[in-house]
Chain A
Amino acid sequence: MPEVSKMKKPDVKVVLLGDMNVGKTSLLHRYMERKFKETVSTVGGAFYMKQWGPYNISIWDTAGREQFHGLGSMYCRGAAAVIFIYDVTNWQSLAELEERFLSLTDTANDDCIYAVVGNKADLTDPKAQQLQDSDAASGTRAEGTLESTEPQVFSACPTPPASPASLSGLMLHKQVSPEDAKAFYERILRYKGLDEKSSLPADKMCFETSAKTGYNVDALFEALFNLVLPFILRKRNEIQVSPTVDLEECRGGGNKRSRSSCC
């Protein structure tokens, strides 16, 4: 039963941050369930456990609403990776990341890695418009992945009525260019006091995705998981795998143990 298998200890924590309506939940849903559906606004934060090969990755999908802003730092505590998400058609959503969300990462691990993701690329970019099919998805996936990634249903899954823009083939104006995202990534590093040279390059950590078509979604998560893998392994070595969840460990453990920089 899936519920029983969930009782595993998370190896690593990944947090999704971003303004409301940029598509955090949709992006995660696309990755986890292989489909796009209309979601409602998230309340608080939602916790998901992703079994990635032999590893358990906990993912916090947070609410973008200002109402829940106070909780952000709690969700970020001890995070090994933070995904900043903006909407490529909305400049403000990138600005919000810097204004509201960047400071939430103060509680993340020192060696936390950051990704900057522009979602809704299908609205501005023809190449993001085709539904990605399974081969693209599985191509990027690491070996040993996923007990069962449900037979890739999304080709059959009815795409919800597309927004008028993409239906008519009419492209929206792209408000945020990849260069803007990269510049933001550098500012993150500066904010964190990280050296640009020893950190992951912006090219590698900035993505454009579409939760609706699946464009680049798997690439994003897989790349990120591969990058936190060393962290997982180090943590696993330090703690002998115990059958029960040690709560202190997953909350505070990361902070204490991992000072060396990742990768």
Chain B
Amino acid sequence: MDRDNQQADEAEGGKICDPPADTLATSLSLLGNHMFPERNYIPSMKNEEHNDSLYETTEDQSEEAQADDVTKPETEKAECFECQESVSSPPADRGLEDATCPADSDHADSGEFVVTMLAKAKLEEQGLGVEGQSSPLLEAGAQDSPGFASHRDEDVTADSWRQHRKHVFVLSEAGKPIYSRYGSEEALSSTMGVMMALVSFVQSGDNIIRSFYSEEHTVVFLHKEPLVLVCVSSSRQSERQLRGELLYVYYQIISMLTQASISRIFEHKKNYDLRRLLAGSEKILDGLLNLLDSDPSFLLAAVHCLPLASSLRDSLSQILQKAITPNLVFSILIARNQLLTIVQEKTVIEDTRLEPADVLLLLNLIGASSAFQAGEIWTPICLPLFNPDCYFYAYISYLDPPECTVCLLLLSTDKEAFYAVAECKRKIEGAMVAQNSLSLIAKVQPYSVSQVGVSDLRHFMYKPFDVPDNHRQLTQFTSPEMEAPYSSEEEQLRLLDLYRYMHSRIHSTSRPLKLIYHVAERETLLAWVTSKFELYSCFSPLVTKACAITAITKLLRWIKKEEDRLFIRYPPKYSTTPNPSKSSRAGKSDQQDSTDNGFLSLL
């Protein structure tokens, strides 16, 4: 994800020219006045990165700064402790933020005006589209699929709609709605039209709109031709995190349609309604957005694997390793949506590594699509970071019907290989029955933080950057179960929000940090990033700084000791290509084959 972000940023860093603020402001005010009656909502500008410009147009140094931060262990910030008197609990509390970033308070006049208008356009317009056209369409939609679309039926004029924590919209460059997390796309078509107007207006001045801020909301844009993604969030996440999430949404769409086919479609017909192709996939995007809110894997861009005695993991790997057929490239075993083991084709892994984002999107796809009992799914799927233009064919089957917790995922490059791949499953099933693996897997539990033996430690997330001996390792992280006081969903979300805040500080574009000691209202957090790992930990509120450091040392020692259990250390390989000498660079090479089955030639 990072790499892609960076590319995107580099691509976006274009000419610097003055934002045509006056024109923009005028036209937007016209638009705004035209569309919306006055309301009592008065947004104000909060521009965190650059105090005089609405949008970033410079080369984004933040990415480099960040990279530096990770790779250079000893900068002057290395031991920078930040003691924050706990002002109040919400991490991104404005007071706290302003105190630490004095530059924020400067507002350029024109900028502020523009933002006011933008925000008006953005946050108040939803009323308009509805009266005009929503009702017939909405009703028709509801009739077509009763029970299918609870969020889709939402009244987009209602306050409750506005109060959602995070909205995500996807539209085409022609301004056609493609997806909305809440409410029906039809009802929001004029809203999306305004969004597109913003994007293209700023674009016409050789600029790119990236984000704007109002008192309560952050609005982030991601333009991935030919799609535009917009996030309207009151979650206090950083712009960068929100853009990362939009990128996941984009990739999930790519995973279903491929970049090549989307570009092709829009080349032929600019105002194509992409919902025709995505119809039925809304659940997958809904599921992804829920995971983005609740699963830290996406924040860390790392995969969470189930802790497993290394002997059991090895035996599972061997079972997968033995059940192969030509053109099989990945065999993945999943339990309760966490990775058990993954085996990869040799030549594939030599050339490129499996990106965590691809695995996370696959897991979401499996979670969001249901097979009942003995069904075996065969479907084309694209791994966008591996190769955004080609399909793999995925075989998905549960090994333990009717519970459906242990899932086997086999990826092949051969569209016709279903029966051959299904036969691999039979072998795997047979071997697992023989070794009684299923009942062993059923006993596996997520671990408790108490096993670490540090009394004040409540929770942590640890992500090693490199597993020794294997630099092509899938990025993973480990984390114990969330236990009391984080048993309720609200509390878990609160902790995750704290982590997100720490993460945004560590990865801040303007002031990246190495180590943060943060005293919050109900807990104390410590985040630490080195060249070897990234760690977020949560302690009881009264822990001292020294205590926390000692605890971290103990924790690191414990993780080292348990490494084999917590991570997939040496992912095994197999060779299934009939003629490995033919292998050329697979993956993100420049020469993209646009035919959907181009993979065979790449392998």
Seen from chain A, the residues whose Cβ lies within 8 Å of a Cβ on chain B are 1-4, 6-7, 20-21, 25, 29, 32-33, 37-49, 61, 63-68, 70-71, 74, 89-90, 160-161, 163-165, 172, 245, 247, 250-251
Contact A4 B433 (CB under 8 A): yes
A61 to B369, CA, bound (A): 14
| Secondary structure type dominating chain B contacts | mixed
Q: What number of A-B contacts does a CB cutoff of 8 Å give?
A: 116
A66 to B277, CA, bound (A): 6
* Least distance between B546 CB and chain A CB atoms (Å): 52
Contact A1 B433 (CB under 8 A): yes
A49 to B418, CA, bound (A): 14
Given the contacts A21-B144, A44-B377, A67-B256, A245 and B370 also touching, CB distance less than 8 Å = no
Contact pick for B376, options A1, A21, A41, A46, CB 8 Å: A46
Could you pull out 13 A-B pairs where Cβ atoms are within 8 angstroms? A3-B374, A4-B429, A37-B372, A40-B369, A41-B283, A43-B379, A44-B377, A46-B378, A64-B280, A67-B281, A161-B147, A163-B147, A251-B416
The stretch from B78-86, B91-99, B419-427, B580-588 touching chain A is B419-427
Given the contacts A247-B420, A250-B419, A65 and B281 also touching, CB distance less than 8 Å = yes
1/0 per residue, CB under 8 A from A, across B373-411: the answer is: 111111110000000000000100001010000000000
Given the contacts A65-B279, A65-B281, A47 and B378 also touching, CB distance less than 8 Å = yes
A38 to B149, CA, bound (A): 11
* Least distance between A132 CB and chain B CB atoms (Å): 19
A67 to B279, CA, bound (A): 8
* Least distance between A31 CB and chain B CB atoms (Å): 11
Interface size class on chain B is 35 or more
* Least distance between A154 CB and chain B CB atoms (Å): 14
- Interface centre among A44, A66, A163, A164, by most chain B C-beta atoms within 10 angstroms, is A44
Residue of B nearest to A244 (CB): B423
Contact A49 B144 (CB under 8 A): no
Given the contacts A41-B369, A47-B418, A247-B419, A68 and B433 also touching, CB distance less than 8 Å = no
Contacts of A90 in B (CB 8 A): 144
Contact A42 B369 (CB under 8 A): yes
Contact B147 A160 (CB under 8 A): yes
* Least distance between B329 CB and chain A CB atoms (Å): 17
Contacts of A251 in B (CB 8 A): 416, 419
Given the contacts A29-B372, A67-B277, A67-B278, A43 and B377 also touching, CB distance less than 8 Å = yes
Contacts of B365 in A (CB 8 A): 43
Given the contacts A3-B429, A45-B379, A90-B144, A40 and B423 also touching, CB distance less than 8 Å = no
Contact pick for B280, options A20, A74, A245, CB 8 Å: A20
* Least distance between A53 CB and chain B CB atoms (Å): 18
Give 9 new A-B contacts, CB below 8 A, not counting A41-B283, A67-B280.
A4-B430, A21-B145, A25-B372, A45-B377, A66-B279, A67-B256, A67-B281, A71-B379, A71-B380
Given the contacts A2-B401, A46-B375, A47-B378, A40 and B256 also touching, CB distance less than 8 Å = no
A38 to B148, CA, bound (A): 8
Residues 53 to 96 of chain B near chain A (Cβ within 8 Å) = none
Cβ of B441 < 8 Å from any Cβ of A?
no
Contact A7 B375 (CB under 8 A): no
Contacts of B256 in A (CB 8 A): 67
Residue of A nearest to B278 (CB): A67
Contact A46 B371 (CB under 8 A): yes
A14 to B416, CA, bound (A): 17
Residue of A nearest to B416 (CB): A74
A37 to B147, CA, bound (A): 11
Contacts of A89 in B (CB 8 A): 143
A68 to B144, CA, bound (A): 20
Contact A245 B376 (CB under 8 A): no
Contacts of B257 in A (CB 8 A): 67
Cβ of B146 < 8 Å from any Cβ of A?
yes
Contact B380 A44 (CB under 8 A): yes
Residues 269 to 294 of chain B near chain A (Cβ within 8 Å) = 276-281, 283
Residue of B nearest to A166 (CB): B146
Cβ of B596 < 8 Å from any Cβ of A?
yes
